[in-house]
């Protein structure tokens, strides 16, 4: 057991295609340690030796046999059958005999021919294993691609049989991949074609020559798909059609718009007739002779009416509905306007009562007739003479009293 822990970072990203589990990582680390010398301890070897460079037979090669501090020497270990390369880190010199009695060798590393060959073979084995795994991954990917291709071909045939559509792929001008769906087997022969990719979704009605309908990548509608190719009502089997957002044409003079059926006089396009909601909050049958500015109700839920159930007409001014009648409208909305034809006043509903708005002239009391300059008796007409004749004495004799 080593006296201390030694930590070495190990990158094994290339060994796994997906995120490995803890057990897989541990197994890989154990196999890695078996094939490397990472866990081998550092060995210090203390040996006694004879200085051959001092003997007569080695006099000519004494310089080659001399060992000094920090030299690298090779040692053969017979019991292990290996040779190691070591560095001289310590020497024991006998000054009396003038010779080295022992030396200490450290940082031993195996370099023998057999050991080197085994290491090389192990390295080759590892490389071969990695190559085999890479080949297996490539074969798996090729198989997956082939499977996807077969599946795509099957789905293309299925879609062509069920919906009359064919599918193909291509490349856009910017190099991105696009997918096509077309009504004919070939794109150029198709009456309708659809193209989708990173740039948007588009529709063509000329075999892919132009793509003038659909949605761009900026989410801007080029042209509605239903408007481009039409929609068969036979395909609508159930559901709810929100007519508030749809305008249904019958003819130029009869159509459904919003919550009302509209009729236009063929001889005068200013004359309208609506069945349904003709103004906001008003339902029934109403007519207009000024292009929809003013509406006169002919029939509502209360029966025959002269206009909004209030005996008058309904005017729409910049989105504001104003009822003109002699009687107050029923169930008015807050801040509703009403022209009272009886008093000729514009009134506003404040939630509790109708309040006159606008200029209201001040009321003044009755005035007395002016005094005449010369008082006269109303029973005696003016004759223009100074004398007056009493009617009581006229025609009597002696002027009776």
Give the end of a domain, one of 205, 229, 253. Answer: 229
Residues 214 and 258 in one domain: no
Where b means 16+ CB within 10 Å and e means fewer, 1-28 reads: eeeeeeeeeeeeeeeeeeeeeeeeeeee
pLDDT on residue 398: 47
8 A C-beta contact, residue 107 and residue 44: no
Phi-psi region of 227 (alpha: psi -120 to 50; beta: other; left: phi over 0): alpha
pLDDT category, 374, cuts 50, 70, 90?
Answer: low
Tell me how far apart the alpha carbons of residues 356 and 351 are, in angstroms, rounded to a whole number: 13
Residue 280 falls inside a structural domain = yes
Residues 252 and 349 in one domain: yes
pTM of the predicted model as reported, rounded to 2 decimal places: 0.24
8 A C-beta contact, residue 168 and residue 158: no
8 A C-beta contact, residue 53 and residue 62: yes
Q: What mean pLDDT is reported for the chain? A: 71
Who contacts 259 (Cβ-Cβ below 8 Å, separation ≥6)? 243, 244, 276, 277
Residues 327 and 287 in one domain: yes
How many CA atoms lie less than 13 Å away from 134 in the CB half-sphere? Answer: 7
pLDDT in tens, 118-156: 556 566 767 777 777 777 676 666 665 566 565 666 566
Residues 191 and 254 in one domain: no
Residue 25 falls inside a structural domain = no
Distances (CA, A) of 146 to 91, 151, 160, 175: 70, 9, 21, 23
Residue 297 falls inside a structural domain = yes
Residues 102 and 75 in one domain: yes
Residues 249 and 207 in one domain: no
8 A C-beta contact, residue 237 and residue 253: no
Mean pLDDT of the region 62-68: 69
Residues 194 and 277 in one domain: no
User: Between β-strands 337-340 and 320-325, what pairing exists: parallel, antiparallel or unpaired?
Assistant: parallel
pLDDT in tens, 331-345: 788 888 888 888 888
Residue 395 falls inside a structural domain = no
pLDDT category, 79, cuts 50, 70, 90?
Answer: confident
Q: What are phi and psi of 257, to 5 degrees?
A: -135, 120
pLDDT on residue 336: 85
Residues 255 and 336 in one domain: yes
Residue 350 falls inside a structural domain = yes
Residue 393 falls inside a structural domain = no
Owning domain of residue 61: 42-111
Q: What are phi and psi of 287, to 5 degrees?
A: -125, 155
pLDDT on residue 196: 80
Our count of domains for the chain comes to: 3
């Amino acid at each position: 057991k080593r006296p201390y822990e030694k930590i070495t970072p190990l990158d094994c990203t290339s060994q796994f295609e997906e995120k490995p589990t803890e057990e897989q990582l541990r197994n890989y680390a154990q196999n890695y340690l078996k094939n490397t010398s990472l866990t081998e301890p550092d060995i210090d070897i203390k040996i006694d030796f004879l200085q051959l460079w001092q003997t007569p037979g080695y006099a000519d090669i004494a310089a080659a046999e001399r060992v000094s501090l920090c030299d690298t020497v090779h040692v053969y270990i017979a019991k292990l059958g290996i040779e190691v390369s070591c560095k001289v880190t310590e020497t024991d010199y006998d000054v009396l005999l003038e010779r080295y009695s022992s030396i200490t060798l450290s940082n031993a590393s195996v370099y023998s021919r057999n050991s080197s060959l085994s290491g090389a073979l192990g390295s080759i084995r590892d490389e071969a294993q990695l190559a085999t795994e890479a080949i297996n991954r490539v074969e798996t990917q090729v198989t997956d691609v082939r499977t996807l291709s077969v599946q795509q071909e099957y789905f293309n045939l299925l879609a062509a049989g069920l919906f009359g559509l064919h599918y193909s792929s291509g490349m856009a001008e910017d190099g991105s991949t696009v997918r096509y769906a077309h009504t004919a087997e070939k794109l150029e022969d198709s009456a309708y074609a659809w193209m989708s990719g990173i740039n948007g979704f588009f529709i063509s009605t000329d075999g892919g020559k132009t793509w003038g309908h659909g949605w761009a990548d900026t989410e801007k509608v080029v042209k509605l798909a239903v408007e481009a190719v039409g929609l068969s009502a036979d395909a609508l089997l159930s559901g709810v059609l929100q007519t508030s957002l749809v305008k249904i044409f019958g003819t130029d003079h009869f159509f459904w718009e919003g919550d009302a059926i509209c009729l236009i006089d063929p001889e005068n396009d200013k004359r309208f007739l609506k069945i349904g909601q003709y103004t906001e909050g008003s339902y029934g049958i109403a007519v207009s002779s000024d292009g929809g500015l003013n509406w006169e109700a002919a029939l509502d839920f209360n029966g025959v009416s002269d206009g909004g159930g209030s005996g008058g007409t309904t005017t729409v001014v910049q989105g504001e509905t104003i009822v003109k009648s002699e009687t107050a409208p029923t169930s008015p909305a807050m801040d509703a306007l009403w022209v009272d034809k009886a008093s000729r006043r514009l009134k506003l509903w404040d939630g509790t009562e109708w309040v006159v708005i606008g200029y209201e002239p001040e009321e003044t009391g009755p005035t007395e007739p002016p005094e005449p300059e010369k008082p006269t008796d109303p029973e005696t007409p003016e004759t223009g003479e100074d004398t007056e004749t009493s009617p009581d004495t006229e025609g009597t004799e002696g002027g009776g009293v």
